[in-house]
Amino acid sequence: MRILKYAAAATLLATAPLAAAQQISIATGGTGGTYYPYGGGLAELIGNHIEGAEAVAEVTGASVENMGLVWRGDSDLALALADTVYQAYNGTGDFEGRQLENIRALASIYPNAVQIVTLAGSGIESLSDLEGKTVSVGAPGSGTEVNAQTLLEANGITYDDIDARRLNFNETADAIRDGDIDAGFWSVGPPTSSIMNLATTRDIQLVGLTDEEIAKAKAAEPVFAAYKLRAGLYEGMDEAVQSVGIPNVLVVSSEMDEELAYEITKVLFEYTDELIAIHPAANDTTVEFSVESTPIAFHPGALRYYEEVGAEIADNQRP
């Protein structure tokens, strides 16, 4: 009988399921932008290179929504624009009176470019030409809308001056293609699939910013920086276009386990080539860009990695 009991116990051990892998959710954005493919690539890295962990990229309304998801613990990681992250961390702007004190950064991963797209021949040649037009300013709660509103208002244009539509990237591209709107804003790592697809079916034009418009935007939002969209970025784009860029930040809760935060940061920078194969925006995913661009405190696990590789950390980047 004792032998039978041991045999039964051995059988149970042999057939018992392995411990479930740790599930990590990554809040990204719409499928037509860069966040979703980049987040999917990061999820692959985590699953392939961090033992006992699995990750999945989730479609969301992007930056502003993502801050709330991490703050509430509904997502473990999130991608968001630096201005949105800065406002959430400090309780300013869209987060006036509701500071999200538990937000921490793992890294700044690449810069977004504000891209204003219209059809060739639309008559929209400058930012001021948007007045009186129907314009998509991005999905509700997205970093694109935050950037669009800041850029417009810094240059004397309010929502009262345009017919503002809040559409995601794919909806914006479709509406421009179909003539339902005159122009649209994207704040995303270039090139982005929704603009690329639009450019294959319609002749598009990107609206450039003047030096004065960029200076006013930077005065209104210090995390803006001049950024040049290169010629040939999209089909039919024969000349470079001047715009503004803003870093994208990978954020987590301060409550994330320090070892896990360290491992994710390490994987991000040591397997970047795998991310580049998924999206070219990852060419800017470097330790140097991260420590130069991150506007809030790093998570202690991320700090441990940066210190290991000899990166210089600013005082405001320490908790």
Amino acid at site 246: I
pLDDT at position 20 is 62
Residues 6+ apart with CB under 8 A from 228: 240, 241, 242, 243
Q: Give the rounded percent of residues in the chain with a pLDDT score beyond 70.
A: 94
Round to whole Å and give the CA distance between 41 and 212. 38
User: Cis before residue 37, ω within 30 degrees of 0?
Assistant: no
What was the pLDDT predicted at 212? 97
- Residue 93 pLDDT: 85
In a domain, 278, yes or no: yes
Residue 1 included in any domain: no
**CA-only gyration radius of the chain, Å:** 22
Using DSSP, state whether 81 is helix, strand or coil: strand
Q: Which CATH number goes with the domain that contains 305?
A: 3.40.190.10
| Structure-token pair, residue 210 | 């003047």
The confidence score (pLDDT) of residue 227 equals 87
Please report how the helices 82-90 and 63-72 are oriented relative to each other, as an axis angle in degrees rounded to 10: 40
Which of 246, 271, 289 terminates a domain? The answer is 246
Segments forming the whole domain that contains residue 123: 113-246
- Antiparallel, parallel or unpaired: β 53-58 and 163-165: unpaired
Examine residue 45 and state whether it is found in any structural domain, yes or no: yes
- Residue 300 domain-assigned? yes
Last residue of a domain, one of 230, 246, 262: 246
Ranges of the chain whose pLDDT falls below 50: 1-19
Taking only the tens place, the pLDDT of each residue in 200-228 is 999 999 999 999 999 999 999 888 888 88
Per the domain annotation, does 16 fall within a domain?
no
* Last-in-domain residue among 246, 264, 288: 246
* Same structural domain, 242 and 261: no
Same domain, 134 and 225: yes
